[in-house]
Structure 1
């Protein structure tokens, strides 16, 4: 019989999967932590139906760990109630086979003993904001773009990380080759395998671009329900990593892996549908931008400073803002302007939406979507004026307004933010601050080789 799944999963999904892949022997079950990292287990084939029927115990302390997987005492989640497990259930629609590993994979989500969503899980934070939007008569839709680097599994001279050799020719290029179609062709065996895998795991990967630096690429993902769009990012990153390894490469999702090359963003495209399915951000009959969308942008402008720790959660995240290369650290907005934080792209007036360009690809997509949607809802509820759009190069103005200017500033601002605490929930808010302060201290005590080179025998 089993127990009713609070996640909405159904045993028939597991049976259909097992029937489709009779020779598959293992399945990765993946719980996404506060950093966007998959934590979980690899179970055997015969355990899958039990997961769907009864769930699976895992420790909630996973949400109290730093990015290295070490417990942070100040989160209040370490050995709470003796360190017992909470029950995890499959996320419906995420079970699929990853061809490169020949294992199954399914996302899971954690619930407490009463079957209620565990408040410190990031996916639930987004689900709560989705529920708020639906209560207001909106259905949030979106997509997140993924920029990333492909690098060699082995380092080059002087231990430097190098752009990956092309899968087709074995050649290496140190040129940017921005938007080069030939660049994509030379890496096509890998990308063909990624597309094939995406089809099996249900991630609608679309356009592929050679980006602004050697070895940098971007996948766009099809627009759909915002919660599923965030799931897509988690699944896609694991798929890209696993497939790249089989080609002797590593996929790098750091925000700024190379100081003198462009950073990697995770741009969020967002709109809201009404009860009839029509886009509530569509242009007015007079051809003007919709006041509702402008209010949403105004709400995000009013809250973006409080949420910078979500958008740029690591020390490396802030290196992406050091040079203005399509990486805005501001609250600016504009029309068809890639130097602003909130861009309104050109396109069909009926499909109008805006793009939030601040988050790095290292950010947790559930949290990015949660704070962005919450800011938009706040803006519409209070009819917030976004102000005039920025025209021209927003980097030239140097306008950052009241935004944090460093990782530590962002931690301080987030800790004091009533908005962030309300949106993400007090337990998560407290734990995230503790984790980020512990990570900041860890990195503050690390003396780099660059410091030795510059200061060691000079000052």
Structure 2
């Protein structure tokens, strides 16, 4: 057993924070599981220094839970190991105040380790860290940012799932109102609190827009030179949005497809690669004459997309998002300045050249998404994979020689059998993730939904 923090955290960080924030009475300590759900505890102020000195014991089973918090025995993380305790340690730099809590609280991100200090490799953070380290060994340094799409919904579901009324004046709209600035004004008090909460955490939340469905919005995040920080930003911003929405009496929804007739919510990841001198190696010398680096990166992402779709679309509801003319890709296509493809090279300054990876729903785990994307890029660069011809025009027309799974069940089978994904996530994380998804599939398959009664109760 070790009392030296394997995460690199320092007791001094906690001491300085407590000195600067005498008002804070408690802390949410948060560790993210395979589904990206924050699990942990709320500790009191006097417990913080002890946590930094010795970590915090948490059961190993916390990383083997399904979407509703039930044990998944097939992960091997429950009774196979006696559900013993491991130790979670603070993530350096992640101790931050929470905005608007009464009494005042802070938040601290955690990561799981074995008692001897070795990484617990069913922790999604370690999967991403592993890919970042592998890229660094190859002289490559990824940078990126996620986009966050979500719905704000009425908490009363008696009349069905519908957009929330404006928190400013109660105005309700069932129109799409995409890019309407005036429509945003009705939610401005909520967004002001979201921005204040993000600032308190050192997160640079940027542009907000009214997205392509009633009640749907998008927040963009500042581009990070560290993709781990980019993933941290996303999970923390989701928590901020949910918390602040609740304070304003509305529901923040991060389902991929909450309303049947409207567009779903994505979690696009913008990624670029730098060399040791900080140069963007995706950037071409002459605009439009793509480098081999960006072409091979796209080739690797295309070739591995089918077997990776479970990471990008991990839930039953995720697969309702994919439909023609929906702004969600239905094939591993690539293109330039084209929102109908899966892998988009956005227009803009050459120095900011990047790939926008568009398949992931907002319900996906950003640590696993980023790890899988980096692994796909490495695969493409190592094998110099040609991405094939660029898709121009309508990417929903025509087929693709590299199809993706047609549904959740196919995606689970493809991911479970994938040697690439096992290497991308690490053997333990791969086993944990696919076992959880298989168990969740069985839960949904047993569920007798309302549609069964609508179709069959009086007909068969």
TM-score normalised by structure 1 residue count: 0.97
Deviations 1:285-326 (A, max 9, x none): 475112101100000111011100000000000000134310
Cα distance in 2 between the residues matched to 1:287 and 1:355: 16
Of residues 229-238 and 389-398 in structure 1, the stretch that sits farther from structure 2 once superposed is 389-398
Cα deviation digits, residues 348-398 of structure 1 (max 9, x gap): 011100100000000000000000000001101111101110011111224
Counterpart of 1:107?
Answer: 109
Deviation at 1:401, TM superposition (A): 3.2
5 Å-filtered alignment, 1:31-430, equals 31-101=31-101, 102-157=104-159, 160-224=160-224, 225-285=226-286, 288-399=289-400, 401-430=402-431
Q: CA deviation at 1:30?
A: 0.1
Query: 1:27 is paired with a residue of what secondary structure?
Result: strand
Select between 57-66 and 190-199 the one with higher mean Cα deviation. Answer: 57-66
**1:284, distance to aligned residue in structure 2 (A):** 2.2
Q: How many angstroms apart in 2 are the aligned matches of 1:435 and 1:271?
A: 31
- Whether the aligned pair in 1 keeps the contact of 2:330 and 2:396 (CA below 8 Å) is no
- Is contact 1:415–1:433 with CA below 8 Å preserved after alignment? yes
CA distance in 2, matches of 1:400, 1:233: 33
Q: Measure how far apart 1:416 and its partner are.
A: 0.7
Q: CA deviation at 1:62?
A: 1.2
Unaligned runs of 5+ in 2: none
Shift of 1:408: 0.3
Contact 2:257–2:265 (Cα < 8 Å) also in 1: yes
Q: 1:400 to 1:329 in 2, by over 3 A?
A: farther
Q: Structure 1 residues 192 and 366 mapped into 2: Cα distance closer, same or farther (>3 Å)? A: same
* Conservation of the 8 A alpha-carbon contact between 2:213 and 2:262: yes
Superposed CA deviations along residues 231-278 of structure 1, whole A, max 9, x for unmatched, are: 111111111101110000110000000010100000000001111111
Question: C-alpha separation between the residues in 2 aligned to 1:387 and 1:363?
Answer: 28
Q: Secondary structure at 1:397's aligned position in 2?
A: coil
TM-score computed with the length of structure 2 as normaliser = 0.97
Residues 286 and 167 of structure 1: is their aligned pair in 2 closer, same or farther, counting only changes over 3 Å? closer
User: 1:142-191 deviations in whole A, cap 9, x for unaligned?
Assistant: 0000000001222242xx12211111111111111100101111100000
In 2, distance between residues paired with 1:83 and 1:433? 20
Contact map agreement 1:343 1:355 (CA 8 A) in 2? yes
CA drift at 1:118: 0.7
Verify the 8 A CA contact 1:15 1:49 in the aligned structure 2.
yes
| Counterpart contact for 1:333–1:390, Cα < 8 Å | yes
8 Å Cα contact 1:129-1:370 kept in structure 2: yes
Instruction: Say whether the 8 Å CA contact 1:100–1:242 is kept in structure 2.
Output: no
* Displacement of 1:399: 3.5
CA distance, structure 1, for counterparts of residue 371 and residue 288 of structure 2 = 30
Contact residue 156 and residue 162 of structure 1 kept, 8 A? no
CA distance in 2, matches of 1:207, 1:397: 34
Aligned 8 A contact 1:329 1:400 in 2: no
Report how many residues are paired.
456
Indicate conservation of the 8 Å contact 2:97/2:107, yes or no: yes
After superposing the two structures, state which structure 1 stretch, 317-326 or 144-153, moved more. 317-326
